[in-house]
Structure 1
Amino acid sequence: MLVDGFSSVLSWLMIALLVFKVFAFVDAAIRREDAFRAVDKQTKPFWLIILGLVVAVSFVPVGGLFLNLIGLIAAIVYVVDVRPKVRAVTPPRGGRNKKDDRNHMGPYGPW
């Protein structure tokens, strides 16, 4: 009974890690290519190849734990180090930024 419970928890953990890796890949795919160069990180194709391999290795049962651990580290590096810097140099979706909001201020707030 204890082994079944541990197996269930481990399978949910593996699914959560896969979702995290897919999130990192999709996020890298939607970012602009020039933003990666602007923040002096590797290029967008580099990160897409690395994160794509990370997601692909998650589905391969051979060599599982070691390759998944390396892939998880790569995804963490992207999400913690690269993603915030790339987001900082790209405008938010919708084409508006906070600077535009200051230009549309009336005496009682934004208009």
Structure 2
Amino acid sequence: MTNVDSLAGLIILVLQIVAIVGAGFALFHAVRQPSEAFPAVDKLTKPVWLGILAASLVVLLLFGAIGFLGIIAVVAVCVYLVDVRPRVEEVQRPRW
């Protein structure tokens, strides 16, 4: 049974690392975007997203991705990466 325990531990560790890297990437991306881009696509303002993503990164670093707060943090990061990021980038593309 030791192999199963260490495999499960390894999977959890990999998931936590992926969650932390994703949160860091999302925060870095949000910092680089202009403030006007967020309301232009009917999303929360840039300072609000920066706060959400920074808090998510702190939670993931302190508590990991497993647990109630970790899951909330992962969901917030996923919402940014899947919904907000593409829309913000779309608004900044030059139109031909």
TM-score by length of 1: 0.76
- Aligned equivalent of 2:37: 35
Which one of 6, 14, 19 corresponds to residue 21 of structure 2?
A: 19
Q: Which runs of 4+ in 1 moved over 4 A?
A: none
- Aligned equivalent of 1:7: 9
The separation in 2 between residues aligned to 1:23 and 1:9, in whole angstroms, is 21
- Deviation of 1:35 after TM superposition, in Å, equals 0.6
Aligned length: 93
List gaps (5 residues or longer) in structure 2.
none
Read off the aligned partner of 1:4 and give its amino acid letter: S
- Deviation of 1:98 after TM superposition, in Å, equals 6.7
The separation in 1 between residues aligned to 2:95 and 2:84, in whole angstroms, is 22
CA contact (8 A) 2:37 2:92 kept: yes
The separation in 2 between residues aligned to 1:11 and 1:56, in whole angstroms, is 17
The separation in 1 between residues aligned to 2:11 and 2:84, in whole angstroms, is 30
Q: Over alpha carbons, which structure has the higher Rg?
A: 1
Alignment of 1:1-111 (within 5 A): 1=2, 2-61=4-63, 65-91=67-93, 97=94, 99=96
- Deviation of 1:61 after TM superposition, in Å, equals 3.0
List gaps (5 residues or longer) in structure 1.
92-96, 100-111
Read off the aligned partner of 1:22 and give its amino acid letter: G
Larger relative contact order (C-alpha < 8 A, sep ≥ 6)? 2
Identity of aligned residues (%): 35
Larger helix percent: 2
Structure 1 residues 61 and 79, CA, compared in 2 at 3 Å: closer, same or farther? closer
The separation in 1 between residues aligned to 2:51 and 2:45, in whole angstroms, is 10
